A and B are shown apart, each in its own frame.
Chain A
């Protein structure tokens, strides 16, 4: 029973365009959401997060949007760069992130030059 779902295993975009990665969750008690980025042979690294009291958080080229009513969040990368090619994991947590993170299965993003 996947509580955090990333339904697109892969996504391919052109350099300079926008990348949109989607994530859905089933547990309405989640109140903190994060995106992690993972390169091959490395551990995941934190990218950006959002609390359930917000609907948008922006950090440079990365923006995360949260739609609580739809239990959906998305990560926008604009403009996309070849170095953004990686696997992106969506994660959710309770109690502001002080509890365990539940991860989705990941989406492999390829940004073509």
Chain B
């Protein structure tokens, strides 16, 4: 049963700390997306990759967020330093050529 795996599921940290979220996309999928869900904005796109190359990261605050795909089985989203306004649920999704995205269960981040 292929699925997108995200870690951690829950993270509580203090302001100023570094946070790294990890995602294992579905094997064979060539696109990987990071979305953030907040009450105010719904699901907003932070960054996405195709064949491991970054295509669009315009949704990310560049000064503190970074997204990478070290290899085809791992995508990371890093926040340094974290701030309370970063508190949200972060979703990773992967997709093939048919346009359907498969989402992970999300990483709930709370920054105190």
Contact = CB atoms under 8 A, between A and B. Distances in A.
A17 to B, nearest CB: 26
A104 B45 CA distance: 11
Contacts of B41: 105
A93 interface: yes
B99 A103 contact: no
A65 B44 CA distance: 24
Interface of A: 6, 32, 34, 36, 41-46, 49, 89, 93, 96-98, 100-106
Interface stretch (B14-22, B72-80, B90-98): B90-98
A105 B48 CA distance: 19
Nearest to A4: B42
Nearest to B100: A46
A34 B99 contact: yes
A41 B43 contact: no
A50 to B, nearest CB: 11
Most chain A CB within 10 A, of B4, B44, B99, is at: B99
Given A43-B4, A43-B91, A43-B93, A100 B102 contact: no
A111 to B, nearest CB: 21
Contacts of A102: 45
B56 A100 contact: yes
Given A103-B35, A103-B42, A106-B42, A97 B99 contact: yes
Closest 6 pairs between A and B when the two form their complex, measured CB to CB:
A97-B99, A43-B103, A105-B42, A103-B43, A46-B100, A44-B103
20 contacts: A6-B42, A36-B103, A41-B105, A42-B106, A43-B103, A44-B91, A46-B101, A89-B42, A89-B43, A93-B99, A96-B99, A97-B98, A98-B97, A98-B99, A100-B33, A100-B48, A100-B56, A101-B33, A105-B41, A105-B42
A100 B45 contact: yes
A101 B93 CA distance: 11
A97 B100 contact: yes
